[in-house]
Amino acid sequence: MIGGAGRGRRRASAPASLPTSTSARRTEHSVSCWYCDCKIYGFNDTLFGLGSKYARFMRGWFSIGVCFSLIALVGISLMLLWESIGVFYFRSGCLSDWLKNLLTSGHSISIMDTTIIIISTILSIAFHEFGHAIAAASEGVEIEYVAIFVAVLFPGAFVALNYDLLQNRPLFSMLRIYCAGIWHNVVLCAVCVLMTSLLPVLLYPLYVSGDGLMVSGIPRTSPLSEYLSAHDVILSVDGMKITRTDEWIKILNQDATAKSSDPEFLEGSQRYVATSSGKGYCVPDPWMDASKNLWQIRDKVPCPDELIAFEKAISNDSAIFTEKIGRGSGQKEVEGKYCLIAKDVVKLRKCGNGWQRTEDDGSSHACFEDEYCLVPALTPGFSWIEVSYAKPYSWGCLQRGGNLSSSSHATDNDLGQSPCEGSFVYVGDLLSAARSVRLSPYRPRWPLLFLADVPCILGNGLSSFIHASAALAVVNSLPVYYLDGEAILETSLSYISWFSRRQRHKILKVCRLVWTVLSVITFSRIFYSTTLFYGFV
Range name among 2-11, 277-286, 406-415 with the lowest pLDDT average: 2-11
With bands split at pLDDT 50, 70 and 90, how would you rate the model's confidence at 21?
very low
- The percentage of residues in the chain with a pLDDT greater than 70, rounded to a whole number, is 70
User: Mean per-residue pLDDT for 485-499?
Assistant: 91
pLDDT per position as a tens digit, 325-346: 444 444 444 556 788 887 788 8
pLDDT beyond 90 at 311: no
User: Mean per-residue pLDDT for 162-186?
Assistant: 93
User: Mean per-residue pLDDT for 433-444?
Assistant: 86
Can you give the pLDDT at residue 295?
A: 53
Nearest to residue 352, comparing CAs of 372, 336, 381, 324? 372
Can you give the pLDDT at residue 332?
A: 43
DSSP, residue by residue, 77-88: HHHHHHHHHHHH
Measure CA 237 to chain center. Answer: 21
Pairing of strands 264-267, 240-241: unpaired
Task: Report how far apart, in Å, the C-alpha atoms of 56 and of each of 167, 168, 177, 202, 436 are.
Answer: 20, 19, 14, 34, 51
Q: Which residues contact 384 (CB under 8 A, 6 or more apart)?
A: 255, 277, 279, 376, 378, 425, 426, 427
Range name among 41-55, 102-116, 223-237 with the lowest pLDDT average: 102-116
Tell me the chain's radius of gyration from C-alpha atoms.
Answer: 31
User: Mean per-residue pLDDT for 531-537?
Assistant: 53
What are phi and psi for residue 534, nearest 5 degrees?
Answer: -80, -20
Residue 315's Cβ-side half-sphere holds a number of Cα atoms within 13 Å equal to: 17
pLDDT beyond 90 at 105: no
pLDDT beyond 70 at 275: no
Query: Catalytic residue at 359?
Result: no
What is the C-alpha separation between 270 and 335, in angstroms, rounded?
14
Nearest to residue 279, comparing CAs of 336, 353, 379, 343? 353
Can you give the pLDDT at residue 473?
A: 94
CA angle at residue 519 from 517 to 520, to 5 degrees? 65
- The percentage of residues in the chain with a pLDDT greater than 90, rounded to a whole number, is 28
What is the C-alpha separation between 338 and 293, in angstroms, rounded?
9
Task: Report how far apart, in Å, the C-alpha atoms of 396 and of each of 162, 175, 265, 442 are.
Answer: 69, 65, 52, 22
What is the C-alpha separation between 146 and 132, in angstroms, rounded?
10
User: Mean per-residue pLDDT for 283-294?
Assistant: 76
pLDDT beyond 90 at 238: no
Q: Which residues contact 501 (CB under 8 A, 6 or more apart)?
A: none
With bands split at pLDDT 50, 70 and 90, how would you rate the model's confidence at 89?
low
Terminus-to-terminus CA distance in the chain, angstroms? Answer: 29
Can you give the pLDDT at residue 316?
A: 52
Contact 347, 413 (CB under 8 A): yes
- Of the candidates 129, 139, 386, 486, the residue annotated as catalytic is 129
pLDDT per position as a tens digit, 29-87: 666 667 788 888 888 889 999 999 999 999 999 999 999 999 999 999 998 888 777 66
- Longest distance between any two alpha carbons in the chain, whole Å: 98
pLDDT beyond 60 at 183: yes
pLDDT per position as a tens digit, 467-486: 999 999 999 999 998 889 99
What is the C-alpha separation between 423 and 413, in angstroms, rounded?
10
What are phi and psi for residue 516, nearest 5 degrees?
Answer: -70, -45
pLDDT per position as a tens digit, 349-386: 888 777 765 545 545 567 888 888 888 877 776 778 88
- Total residue count of the chain as it appears in this document: 537
How many C-beta atoms lie closer than 10 Å to residue 27's C-beta? 11
Contact 96, 519 (CB under 8 A): no
Range name among 61-65, 228-232, 267-271, 415-419 with the lowest pLDDT average: 267-271
pLDDT beyond 60 at 138: yes
Can you give the pLDDT at residue 219?
A: 85
